[in-house]
């Protein structure tokens, strides 16, 4: 089973991965760590940390896809989180592998951003991992990023997109319920395959 968690910055991806690690005892991989590891090992790796999310996402996707397939082939569980999993990447995974993947794409509504940008979104950006750079974006920038991300997610019916509209804790619990439900389906399918 592979759980993929994607979304714009500060949507709680890393926190969710940590919670799922504690709940399911499944390790997680931060794509930010992979990105920085590759860049620090070879500054001529084809991208810089300042390149766009889309550009870096396309550079990293072949590696991530290889990691996903290898884990599935070896019956290993892994959580992968980061903004570099782009909605159209799901279409690039063969059905025999996608049956073992639980993708989750997180976003905020415009109203939620307007009401919570400073008090909840920016304030909790270091909850799990320390970020060494200041938050330079404005509320308007953040809303535009979320609008664009929402549009890309909704353009593909295969993308499970979850948008927080009012109450983060209450609404994010539905995402955990979804993951648990999908996990049970995968485990049930695995048991049936093992019997046959």
Helix (H, G, I), strand (E, B), or coil: what is residue 4?
strand
Element (H, E) at 135: none
Verdict on whether the full-model pTM lies above 0.85: yes
**Strands annotated E in 9-73:** 28-30
Confidence of residue 196 (pLDDT cuts 50, 70, 90): low
**pLDDT value at position 36?**
96
Stretch 116-122: mean pLDDT:
70
**Strands annotated E in 109-171:** 161-164
Asked if residue 134 has pLDDT above 60, the reply is no
Asked if residue 20 has pLDDT above 90, the reply is yes
Give the residue among 131, 18, 135 at the shortest CA–CA distance from 79.
Answer: 18
How far, in Å, are 38, 131, 136 from residue 127 at the CA level?
A: 25, 10, 18
Asked if residue 104 has pLDDT above 70, the reply is yes
Lowest mean pLDDT segment, chosen from 61-75, 91-105, 181-195? 181-195
Average pLDDT, the chain: 89
For residues 143 and 114, the answer to whether their CB atoms sit within 8 Å is yes
| Cα 11 → chain centroid | 9
Asked if residue 77 has pLDDT above 50, the reply is yes
- For residues 134 and 172, the model is more confident at 172
Confidence of residue 131 (pLDDT cuts 50, 70, 90): very low
Stretch 47-58: mean pLDDT:
95
User: What are the chain's domains?
Assistant: 2-180 (3.40.50.300)
Asked if residue 115 has pLDDT above 80, the reply is yes
């Amino acid at each position: 089973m592979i759980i993929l968690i994607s979304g714009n910055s500060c949507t709680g991806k890393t926190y969710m991965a940590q919670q799922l690690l504690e709940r399911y005892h499944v390790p997680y991989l931060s794509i930010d760590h992979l990105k920085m590891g590759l860049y620090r090992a070879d500054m001529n790796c084809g991208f810089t940390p300042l390149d766009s999310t889309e550009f870096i996402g396309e550079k990293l996707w072949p590696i991530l896809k290889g990691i996903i397939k290898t884990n599935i082939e070896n019956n290993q569980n892994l959580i992968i989180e980061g903004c570099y999993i782009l909605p159209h990447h799901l279409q690039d995974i063969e059905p025999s592998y996608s049956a073992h993947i639980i993708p989750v794409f997180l976003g905020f509504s415009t109203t939620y951003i307007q009401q919570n940008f400073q008090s909840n979104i920016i304030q909790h950006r270091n909850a799990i991992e320390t970020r060494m750079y200041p938050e330079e974006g404005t509320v308007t920038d953040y809303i535009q990023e979320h609008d664009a991300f929402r549009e890309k997610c909704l353009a593909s019916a295969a993308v499970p997109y979850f948008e927080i509209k009012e109450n983060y804790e209450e609404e994010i619990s539905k995402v955990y319920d979804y993951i648990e439900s999908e996990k049970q389906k995968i485990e049930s399918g695995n048991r049936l395959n093992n019997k046959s």
